[in-house]
């Protein structure tokens, strides 16, 4: 009997380092003519088996922000409590501001590899970083996207570290996004029955990071993901995306709901931090991005809103805790919480479980 065949030796870490040192990114690999994706982008079959769900598709609610305030508060509360996500239209941010942002980011990602290499690094402390997968060396499988991360606040952006073609559009978007996020946070507070400016007082408008993602066409979309299922760690996330839709999905029970690409709309979701502070009144939701099977690239820009004060304790709002509704989570220092997030791979919903109180033992 002949011995069982064994696959060729695969040194994943060496391949990752070679890829990262090349500074090509996913788009650069595609431009080089490669028609198969490197093995470190391959995801386990069990993680991919439900990518083509044939059951009827759910869709995330689209809310008209110009409706009567009480209606908007009720709709957003219901959407966040059910889906953790919603889209908004008539939000007062000019479509041109959104289009300019998406266009400038797309222009950067589609520049020559030689140009983009000047910005490729993983030192986010510099204020801006272009790379492939912030968790590239921690994840079990890489996701097929390139990203440009820019710290917007509380420190002034390091504009010299941001590609020049993106600076003006990003600055204009950030100004408009802060005004809108202030309004949304007030609505979220109203939905919880707490003081309208409570989140603003906790500096939740001031810790802002913008992350642009570029998902180029994938020659083998059945083998990989654009972004693995995860929840956001922070308070509030606002996302704009181009017309290449059908890739962003939100987990609802055992199904995945599409977040359709609506021209001019803004996608909003909450993170684990607000779920815990709301004492589970609001729910953060797992979401993912499928690998891109289309001919055009998907471009999205997410702005993450978090507290700028990191050395204080956070936990459920005291107003939401009672004898009939005890605290679901213990208090924690926000800086420790974020350190825990960035030392694990982007995978699933684990932070809320870590801080959860087992009230059955009380």
Is position 7 within any domain?
no
Q: pLDDT tier at 337 (50, 70, 90 boundaries)?
A: confident
Per the CB < 8 A criterion, the answer to whether 102 and 169 are in contact is no
The 10s digit of each residue's pLDDT in 143-170 is 999 999 999 999 999 999 999 999 999 9
For the ranges 45-59, 68-82, 90-104, 212-226, which has the lowest average pLDDT? 45-59
The 10s digit of each residue's pLDDT in 158-214 is 999 999 999 999 999 999 999 999 999 999 999 999 999 999 999 999 999 999 999
pLDDT at 4 over 60: no
pLDDT at 257 over 50: yes
Provide the token pair at 120: 């490729």
312/126 Cα distance (integer angstroms): 24
Q: Which domain holds residue 282?
A: 13-361
Dihedral (Cα; 220, 226, 229, 232), 10-degree rounding: 180
Pairing verdict, β 62-64 and 85-89: parallel
pLDDT at 346 over 90: no
pLDDT at 5 over 50: no
**What integer pLDDT is reported at residue 289 of this predicted model?**
96
Please compute the mean of the pLDDT values over residues 119-148 and round it to a whole number.
93
Is position 1 within any domain?
no
Per the CB < 8 A criterion, the answer to whether 187 and 73 are in contact is yes
302/149 Cα distance (integer angstroms): 9
**What integer pLDDT is reported at residue 351 of this predicted model?**
75
Please compute the mean of the pLDDT values over residues 5-21 and round it to a whole number.
81
29/35 Cα distance (integer angstroms): 9
**What integer pLDDT is reported at residue 1 of this predicted model?**
46
Q: How many helices (H) and strands (E) does the chain have?
A: 11, 14
Is position 8 within any domain?
no
Is position 224 within any domain?
yes
Provide the token pair at 145: 């996207």
Provide the token pair at 109: 């990602």
Instruction: List 306's β-bridge partners, or say none.
Output: 207
Give me the helix-helix angle, 164-192 and 69-82, nearest 10°.
Answer: 100
**What integer pLDDT is reported at residue 125 of this predicted model?**
83
Instruction: List 47's β-bridge partners, or say none.
Output: none
**Number of structural domains found in the chain:** 1
Q: Read off the CATH number of the domain in which 353 is found.
A: 2.60.120.330
19/132 Cα distance (integer angstroms): 10
62/258 Cα distance (integer angstroms): 12
Is position 192 within any domain?
yes
Dihedral (Cα; 75, 78, 82, 88), 10-degree rounding: 20
Reduce the DSSP state of residue 192 to 3 states and report it: helix
For the ranges 44-58, 121-135, 153-167, 200-214, which has the lowest average pLDDT? 44-58
- Mean pLDDT: which of 63-67, 231-235, 310-314, 341-345 is highest? 63-67
151/129 Cα distance (integer angstroms): 9
Is position 2 within any domain?
no
Closest to 76 in 3D by CA, of 183, 202, 177: 183
């Amino acid at each position: 009997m002949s011995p069982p065949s064994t696959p060729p030796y695969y040194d994943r870490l060496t391949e990752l380092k070679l890829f990262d040192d090349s500074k090509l990114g996913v788009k650069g690999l595609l431009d080089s003519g490669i028609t198969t994706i490197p093995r470190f982008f391959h995801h386990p079959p069990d993680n991919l088996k439900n990518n083509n769900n044939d059951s009827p598709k759910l869709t995330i609610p689209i809310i008209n922000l110009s409706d009567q305030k009480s209606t908007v508060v009720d709709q957003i509360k219901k959407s966040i409590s059910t889906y953790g996500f919603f889209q908004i239209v008539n939000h007062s941010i000019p479509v041109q501001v959104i289009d300019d942002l998406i266009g400038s980011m797309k222009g950067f990602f589609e520049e020559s590899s030689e140009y983009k290499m000047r910005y490729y690094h993983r030192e986010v402390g510099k204020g801006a970083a272009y790379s492939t997968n912030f968790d590239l060396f921690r994840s079990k499988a890489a996701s097929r996207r390139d990203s440009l991360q820019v710290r917007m606040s509380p420190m002034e952006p390091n504009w010299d570290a941001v590609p020049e073609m993106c600076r003006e559009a990003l600055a204009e978007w950030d100004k408009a996004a802060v005004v809108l996020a202030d309004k949304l946070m007030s609505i979220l507070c109203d939905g919880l029955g707490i003081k309208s400016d409570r989140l603003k007082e906790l500096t939740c408008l001031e810790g802002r990071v913008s992350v642009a993602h570029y998902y180029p066409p994938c020659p083998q979309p059945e083998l990989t993901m654009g972004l693995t299922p995860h929840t956001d760690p922070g308070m509030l996330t606002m996302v704009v995306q181009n017309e290449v839709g059908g890739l962003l999905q939100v987990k609802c029970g055992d199904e995945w709901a599409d977040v359709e690409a609506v021209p001019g709309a803004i996608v909003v979701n909450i993170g684990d931090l607000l779920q815990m502070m709301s004492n589970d009144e609001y729910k953060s939701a797992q979401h993912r991005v499928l690998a891109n099977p289309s001919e055009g690239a998907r471009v999205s820009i997410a702005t993450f809103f978090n507290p700028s004060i990191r050395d204080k304790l956070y936990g459920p709002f005291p107003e939401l805790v009672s004898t009939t509704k005890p605290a679901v989570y213990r208090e924690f220092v926000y800086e420790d919480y974020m350190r825990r997030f960035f030392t694990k791979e982007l995978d699933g919903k684990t932070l809320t479980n870590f801080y959860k109180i087992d009230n059955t033992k009380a």
